[in-house]
Structure formats: structure tokens, C-alpha cells
Amino acid sequence: MITREAMVVCGQIWFNAVFYELSEHTLITWQVEEGVEVPAGTVLCHLSGNARVLLSGERTALNWLQTLSATATQSRNYANAVLGTGCTILDTRKTLPGLRQAQKYAVSIGGCENHRMAYTTPY
């Protein structure tokens, strides 16, 4: 999997969970760590396993990675904008239905802080 845009990588846990739920024999080898900023064209990971499993999980796994990486990337942009000012950027309670914990996690990966909900490990 290769990124098309510069981004902060976020959501590997959810990405992995999609494929492992379909088959424990799927092999995912991440080339980058969670929370790292990467330029466009970076190889994020390699997947191998049953073709039916890979095709079945592809869209859901990518949706997780794209949504959470977008949140982390935008959070990083905001955090960088106030770097050195003593300001702290806090998120709101306005999250997508059912994705509150995941989006709060992405905000913290991006360098901002959670408001009204301390982050806990998702898995």
C-alpha cells in the first residue's frame, strides 16, 4: 500500500483488525510506525494472504486508515501552527457516530489533546 499524499499515519490497529477478523493467516508488514509523518509515495505496508480475504477487507481497512490518518494529519497541522506559543489545541465532542474513541485517538496521535474524554487503548 502506497500513500498518494503526505500524511500522519494513524489507524494501524483498526486496519490490522479488519484483516485478522477475516483470516488469522493474513500477513501485514508495516514499513512505517503509527504517528509518523510520511511524504506522498511512501510505502506504508505490504499485505499477503488469501486473495478473497484481501479483496473483502480492502475497502473497510482503507476507510479506517484514511479517516483516522486524515484526522491525525489535520490535528498535526493545528498543533504545528501553535507550536512554541504555549497554546494547546483541544478536540470537541463532535465525532462521527460510533467512531468517538478512534477519532479521539487520532487527535492525540496528531499532537492535540482530548477534551472531555481521556484516551484509552482501543484494543
Q: Annotated active-site positions, please?
A: 94
DSSP tag of 82:
T
Question: Any residues with CB less than 8 A from the CB of 11 and at least 6 apart, and which?
Answer: 64, 65, 67, 68, 69, 102, 106
Quick one: which of 82, 95, 108 has its CA closest to 11?
Answer: 108
